[in-house]
Structure 1
Amino acid sequence: MPKLIPPLTELQVKNAKPRPKPYKMFDGGGLYVEVMPSGSRIWRWKFRHADGKENALTFGPYPEISMQDAREKRLEARRLQLQGIDPAKHRDDAKRLAAEKAANTFEKVAREWYANKVPTWSERTSKNMLQRLEADIFPKIGSRPIAEIKHRELIVMLRKIEERGATEIAHRLKAVCSQIFSYAIQCGLADRNLMADMKDVLKTKRASHYAAISADELPTFLDILSRNEARMFEPTRIALRLMLLIFVRTSELIETPWSEVDLEKGEWIIPWQRMKRGKLTVNPDMTNHHVCLSRQALALLRQLHTITGHGIYLFPNQRDHDKPLSNNTLLVALARMGYKGRMTGHGFRALAMSTIKERLGYRHEVVDRQLAHAPKDKVASAYDRAQFLTERRKMMQEWADYLEAVERGDTPQPGHHGSLELVWPAPHR
């Protein structure tokens, strides 16, 4: 019959005196407190593995672990044994999981997610994404284990961004964090995507478009550009006129080298590598873009060639001619013309799209191809971009004629099937 061990009292444990060697004071059921020569008292529990080997679990020091705590831990361990679970292995697994949780911080997981995404992004997108995470996210929650982050932490972080007026950035980073949490769940590092439960914590952002003037505002815009009271350099004025005439993306215009333009043939073909969809890492669109030059656009390019034709770029940087013009130059020029917040580089594309469709009568598909937009469905994407090339050349000339008529104060009227009937008054004598 097993020996009955009377349970310890709180006073016995509290008054236990140290000896030259460690000794044990048993509480029963394998629980004991080991008194060390230093005077510290450690709660341990003695048990046997399924194979009969003896082992001991350390529950912790007294009085940090009270007698009641130690007895509850003994009971928990006994329950594990009755379920066929090794208490020592269970303890080691728990320690390992805790260590993994602590190691898998939000920043660590975010950088893994980022590394997986980088091959599908452009260099610019990759750089901007990392800069934004390092500036706004990592300083706040980067060191926190991703599985332990709470809703409130994320709300405080996002609202701080929102409070400085960066509402759009706050919404974008919320979406980015959602992707990171989703990645963590797929890797078994988190159980829940907290961002999915946070639909209304930020101010609702209004749907916005790039600022662009309307067709009715063209006469005033062209008059201001012509009078040049903003005292812009000639290449800058030519750049703005070309944006009106050919409505390529700003970067596609200002980064153009003269080698892409054939003034003799009147051709300008932008290699697919310079186009927005050509820069995609996955499935880039390898279609060269035909700009389709009107007589007016070609005349401007020839005029520009007399100014910058000796260099690499159509629009060189004034400080370093081996670099292209800064994108900000055109925005500053528009601001000086009085169009700050009312017109952007992308606004020329929106203006052309709406006006050519509404006032010149061209089909959306033709204008869309000239804008080098991606086809919205798989059937359309099977066709080459040059499918509408003849129609696009005709359209671009009619667009240039339309702008010329507007600037002269005439009233161009749309004809049938995209043809333009120019109703002009007699020339002034």
Structure 2
Amino acid sequence: MQEDGNLVLAGYDFSEPGYWYTSTNAFNNVSLMFNTSSFLYFVNSTKNIYALTQSTPTPVRDYYHRATIGEYGNFQQNAYHKRNGSRWTRVWRAVEEPCRVNAVYGIYGMCTSPDNESVICTCIPGHIPFDPTDVSKGYHPETVVNYCASPSLMNFKLNVIDDADFQIDSTSDLALVTNVDVEGCQKSLMNDCYAIAASLDASISNCNMKRTPLINARKSASSKGLKALIKIPSNINNSSTGQSNRNIKFKVRLFLKVSIAVSATLACFFGAIATYYHPVARRLKKRKKYLNTSSIGINFREFSFEELRQATDGFCKILGRGFSGKVYSGMLSIEDAEIAVEVKRLEKGIEKREDEFMTELKIIGRTHHKNLVRLLVFCIENNHRILVYELMPGGALSSYFVWTRRETQMESED
């Protein structure tokens, strides 16, 4: 709403007169009203002066109403049924032809609307979009040239678009040539180095010359029978071929980028899964699980399997055999002292043995008695589970248990 009381729709990039206005500037203190009557109208301090919506079949008791400026710059009123509504329905709009909205697709863009409902954006031949993903940002010349360089006629060719024109506006209007046909309009356009396009209305023999920047190019119901003439540098391919190729290249680049990103993500995902389930990773996971000795309150030293193999001369001297494995003798260097040890090596192949191993560690770690042999070292490496005790002076602990059990049996027989 202007200060003079005139409601105007205009392109935000241009200060020229708008593409729609109400001509209510003859009154003072004008206000736009939109109330429970669901009508849009103007009032001043004394009376109603202008109605935008003359009648509406959608009473406010049954419908929600809203008045907005849509994405294509058209001021319109919509209604939505309160009980059975599924979408907003247009009740009224200011501009009946969407392509009459100034710069609806920016400079050098062409608005196409064959039914005055849907709107399609294309570029003027010889131009490309600033942003292929958002054509509403407008277009720019594919090649920057000097239109007045000599010889001008040799540097350009003409492209004629039927049923299209450039609306009259002071931003791009250059000159009006009258009493000409198509050939006369083409000649006038080629001879004027400041003109880059023209609109020809053959019915009245008028050729309206245009200068840069070109705005409001349209192809709609009201442009039937008109012709749009565009001057294009000779080294640019005509019309949509070049633009189509560029769009294809852009889509290919976009597809490649997306494919690479998706492939990298999937590779990381499956790599993580493969690493997690790899036997080595699972062994390391188990190792971490069992090495958390602080959580069970024990503080034993850990030796590697190779160190224990050397300490027992390759596990060659067997002291005895228990339920869960064999016992070997050996010499182990601990804190610069050589200590005779017995090495209990659990048998492989049974998963339950690992639990037995940890159970024995827990029990021994929490048991302290002067008559019990001391656990010195343990080993958890790959499938090896080994306990290292201090060797008793009188022999292996397993031998003592064996002879004690035999003597007990003999006494019971007697």
> TM-score, length-normalised on structure 2?
0.24
* Structure with greater Cα Rg: 2
* More strand per residue: 2
* More helix per residue: 1
Larger relative contact order, structure 1 or 2 (CA cutoff 8 Å, min sep 6):
1
